Amino acid sequence: MTAALTIILAAVNIAFPRPGASLPAIDRCYVIGAAPPGTTNVVVQGRPVAVHPLGGWVAMVDLVPGTNTVAVADTNVTFTVAAKRASSASSAAPPPRKYEKLPYAADELRVCSTNLVVIDPGHGGDDTGALSPHSLPEKDANLRMAKAVRAELEKLGYKVEMTRETDDAVPLYDRPRSAHKGGAAAFVSIHHNAPPYDKDPRDFRYHAVYAWNDPGEKLAKAINSRMAETLGGALKNNGVLHANFAVTRSPEIPSCLIEVDFVTTPEAELDSWNPSRRKKIAAAIALGIADFAKK
């Protein structure tokens, strides 16, 4: 099957950082974008950067506190970087994301009295989520995957509700609402990932599932093991991690958040558009949910 992703650009495009963005106190950041067909390299801050045959490119640039202007081909992008705090220069880098395992209210696994599963495609509306080199938003990759998961779950006999079916902005705390109302067997939020701003996206590709409490962790493990089985060596498995997210905190509804893959390299972006790969991953996620719900 040929690639489903074909975008013809007239000029070099910069997907990240966005003009006017405010970045935390970091010494370097990634710059990603895309170039017109036939371009073999783009010059970023005076250095040639290889362009993927489908147009995407990735570069790393050094930053200074305050205003930074990065020259990419004939375009400049200007953004700001926060100043480091003089009092704690050695610990001025942003802290790593914290995943807490906190006590939970309901520590007994809910008996699945319904065959309802709620699928939550992450982001939407003005909230694009991560951007790929061609500036394709994560919110769309999430929605495509969520619809594919719904189709697979329906084949297995589940009733599926989605928190959004179009490009809507749904407030974070409203997302688990229908799962609570319907007594869902599982609530699954679907996302695609981006690395921290100061890390090279070429070093970041894996799948991972995040949960907060014990029921969520059981659901997450079931999904993660089916994903690992299906993707095998094709994608690194970062396992099940604890995350205190709005969408993983439901005490009675087993909930988890899947980072299906990253979208921040040309290869990852292309994979996110591959319909047969999407169907395979969606089938694995649906089987994982079924493994959990049957128990």
Residues that bind Zn ion (CB under 5 A): 122, 129, 191
Query: Judged by CB, which is closer to Zn ion: 96, or 232?
Result: 96
Estimate the crossing angle of helix 138-155 against helix 275-294, to 10 degrees: 50
Closest-CA residue to 58 (of 28, 29, 32): 32
Retrieve residue 7's tokens. 């975008």
Question: At its nearest, how many Å lie between Zn ion and the CB of residue 97?
Answer: 13
Question: At its nearest, how many Å lie between Zn ion and the CB of residue 40?
Answer: 32
Question: At its nearest, how many Å lie between Zn ion and the CB of residue 12?
Answer: 26
The rounded distance, in Å, linking the Cα atoms of 85 and 91 is 9
Query: Judged by CB, which is closer to Zn ion: 122, or 266?
Result: 122
Query: Judged by CB, which is closer to Zn ion: 116, or 194?
Result: 194
Find the residue with minimal CB distance to Zn ion.
191
Go through 67-88 and write b for each residue having 16 or more CB atoms within 10 A of its CB, e for each that does not: ebebebbeeebebebeebeeee
Residue 64 CB neighbour total at 10 angstroms: 9
Query: Is the distance from CB of 258 to CB of 138 less than 8 angstroms?
Result: no
Q: How many residues appear in the chain?
A: 295
Query: Judged by CB, which is closer to Zn ion: 68, or 132?
Result: 132
Question: At its nearest, how many Å lie between Zn ion and the CB of residue 138?
Answer: 5
Largest CA distance in the chain: 62
Question: At its nearest, how many Å lie between Zn ion and the CB of residue 109?
Answer: 27
* Residue 83, phi then psi, degrees to nearest 5: -75, 145
Query: Judged by CB, which is closer to Zn ion: 191, or 278?
Result: 191
DSSP single-letter state for residue 136? -
Closest-CA residue to 58 (of 238, 267, 261, 259): 267
Query: Judged by CB, which is closer to Zn ion: 194, or 231?
Result: 194
The rounded distance, in Å, linking the Cα atoms of 157 and 116 is 10
Question: At its nearest, how many Å lie between Zn ion and the CB of residue 69?
Answer: 28
Characterize the bridge pairing of strands 66-72 and 116-121.
Answer: unpaired
Question: At its nearest, how many Å lie between Zn ion and the CB of residue 61?
Answer: 24
Query: Judged by CB, which is closer to Zn ion: 140, or 217?
Result: 140
